[in-house]
Amino acid sequence: MNKNKLKLGLDISKIHHIISRKMDASVISAIDDNLTVSQAYVIDFISNEGKDKEIFQKDLEKAFDLKRSSISLMLNNMEKSELIERVPVTEDARLKKIILTQKSIKLYEKISTAIDSIEDKLSENITPEEIKVFQSVLEKIRNSLE
C-alpha cells in the first residue's frame, strides 16, 4: 500500500471547511442580519454581474454550480427576507429577473469588504502565475468529475 497516496478530495474538503468558517465569520461580523454566506455571495454576484446585464435564476445556477431546487429555495428565503425581488420581464412573463432591494444594496458594501478581506488573505502569498496554474488544475478536476 502506498502511504503517499494522493488524497486530493480530502485536502480540498479540509480547505473548503477552513475557507467557509473564515468567510462565515467575516460576513457575520460585517453584518447584523441573519444572512448566510451563500446569500452574501449571491448579493455580491448580482451586484457585480447585474451592472451589465439582467440576472436570472439560471445565471445563479450556473455561477454557483447548484441545482435549480437549491437556488430556488435560497431565492425564496432571500425574497422573504426582503433581500431580492423577482420581477417579470416584458418579453416573457415566465422569466423573472432578480434584482436587489434597497436593504441588500445597503448590505452590499459590507458584504463586499468582508468577502474581499478573506479573498485577499487566501492569495496573499501566491504569485499571479501560481494562481493561474491553480485555477487551471481546479478546472481539470472539475472537468474530470463532470
Q: What CATH number is attached to the domain comprising 96? A: 1.10.10.10
- 30 pLDDT band, cuts 50/70/90, is confident
Residue 12, domain member (yes or no): yes
pTM of the predicted protein model? 0.76
In contact, 31 and 43? CB cutoff 8 Å: no
Residue 1, domain member (yes or no): no
Residue 52, domain member (yes or no): yes
Q: What is the pLDDT of residue 5?
A: 76
Residue 103, domain member (yes or no): yes
Residue 24, domain member (yes or no): yes
Domain count, the chain: 1
Cell of 97: 429577473
Give the domain extent around 21. Answer: 8-145
Please name the residues in contact with 96: beta carbons below 8 A apart, sequence gap of 6 or more: 56, 57, 86, 87, 88, 89
pLDDT tens-digit profile of 46-73? 999 998 899 999 999 999 989 999 999 9
Please check the confidence at residue 14 and state whether its pLDDT lies above 70: yes
Residue 3, domain member (yes or no): no
Count of all residues that appear for the chain in the document: 146
- pLDDT, average across residues 38-43: 91
